[in-house]
Structure formats: structure tokens, C-alpha cells
Amino acid sequence: MEWIFYTLAFLIATALSGSAVYALYWSSKHGQLRDFERGARSIFDDEEPVGRMTDHFPAKRPKGP
């Protein structure tokens, strides 16, 4: 009985490792590992642009120069 689970565990582990390798391959194929500058900026947009702080204590806004 035990060997069924060991086999299962081994197969799942192999599949997961395989998917990780595939994910790395996929990301290099699809330009995810190119142009890091753009990657870092991808979380900003017109509404929340680079250079604007988006959080502060309630009722206490920083006084800019």
C-alpha cells in the first residue's frame, strides 16, 4: 500500500519541478526577463504615478517643501 503513496508523491514532485523549469523557460521566451526597468515600473499608472506617495497616517499629511 505504502508504495502507491511514495510513487504518487514522487510523480507530483517531478511534475512540480517540471512546471517550475517550464515557468522559467516560459518567462524567458515571453520577454519577462528582459527590460527590467519596465518591469519595475509596471505597478505604477496615471492614477498612482511614480513620485507620488500613496499612504500616510490619518489626518496627518506630510508637509512638502
Contact 35, 29 (CB under 8 A): no
CB of 4 to other proteins, least distance (A): 8
- Would you state the cell numbers that stand for residue 19, as one nine-digit string? 512546471
Residues 2-61 touching other proteins, rule: CB under 8 A, are 2, 5-6, 8-9, 12-13, 16, 19-20, 24, 27, 32-33, 36-61
Question: 3-state class of 40 per DSSP?
Answer: helix
Tell me 56's DSSP state.
-
Binding site for other proteins (CB under 8 A): 1-2, 5-6, 8-9, 12-13, 16, 19-20, 24, 27, 32-33, 36-65
